[in-house]
Amino acid sequence: MLTQDDLKSELDALASPTKAIALSRFFKTGKGEYGEGDRFLGITVPEQRQLAQKFISLSFDEIEQLLQTDIHEYRLTALLILTYQYPKVDVFKREAIFNFYLKHTKWINNWDLVDVTCRQILGVHLLNQDRNILYELARSQNLWEQRISIVSTLEFIKHQQFADTLEIAIILLNHSHDLIHKAVGWMLREVGKQDRQILVGFLDIYYQQMPRTMLRYAIEHFDEPNRKAYLSKPKN
């Protein structure tokens, strides 16, 4: 039976010191930066996805051991395993995966870890359930929980459900970090792809409060004249 030690060995064998240096810079691991303390092996996401599928049978205990390390690829592969397990199990195990994910947000602590996993677990799980937990995450003091709260709504957007995205966007509207500005703008853009008028209605009310990065992301798919017009609108 494959174990988490086997997975670590296979990941270690794929390590690329050159890529690791580049990834460490890209994910801001320097002192005082948002990814401080994160260590990279230098492994591509497709390689990690392949291993996650191979090791899909790992237990929660083994996944937890992978998460509780400072090696980024161990954590990402562990989270990917959860995303592959989720659609293959019964409703009781899905609930367990959902709760396990929420219990371990301390280690879901970089933007890629959030973005490639939260929709597939939290978003899918909450599609037909109460979504109050996302509002709790949005109001937490943890940057990554806040990003989880908004990015998870991508699953709702795909199903033409926009209300939670817009409400959580309002909660995060005055956030100080550009990783939240980008995430909120991204989700607003996705709303606009589904229903332009809903996005325009939101922008008409809130564009004056929106950080510039958030606004730029939200209107990225507008044609050039409309984008320029929005960016040049005077703030009262």
Q: Taking a C-beta distance cutoff of 8 angstroms, is the pair 220, 187 a contact? A: no
pLDDT per position as a tens digit, 194-215? 999 999 999 999 988 899 999 9
Look at residue 150 in the predicted model and tell me its pLDDT: 98
Report the phi/psi class of residue 70: left, alpha or beta, with left for phi > 0 and alpha for psi in -120 to 50.
alpha
Query: Which 3-state string (H, E, C) describes the chain?
Result: CCCHHHHHHHHHHCCCHHHHHHHHHHCCCCCCCCCCCCECCCCCHHHHHHHHHHCCCCCHHHHHHHHCCCEHHHHHHHHHHHHHHHHHCCHHHHHHHHHHHHHCHHHCCCHHHHHCCHHHHHHHHCCCCCCHHHHHHHCCCCHHHHHHHHHCCHHHHHCCCCHHHHHHHHHCCCCCCHHHHHHHHHHHHHHHHHCHHHHHHHHHHHCCCCCHHHHHHHCCCCCHHHHHHHHHCCCC
Sketch out the chain's domains with CATH numbers. 1-125 (1.20.1660), 128-236 (1.25.10.90)
What pLDDT shows up at residue 229?
83
Give the confidence band of 235 by pLDDT, cuts at 50, 70, 90.
Answer: low
* pLDDT at residue 20 greater than cutoff 80: yes
**Bridge partners for 123 per DSSP:** none
Q: Model-level pTM?
A: 0.95
Encode pLDDT of 61-103 as tens digits. 999 999 999 999 999 999 999 999 999 999 999 999 999 999 9
pLDDT of residue 128: 94
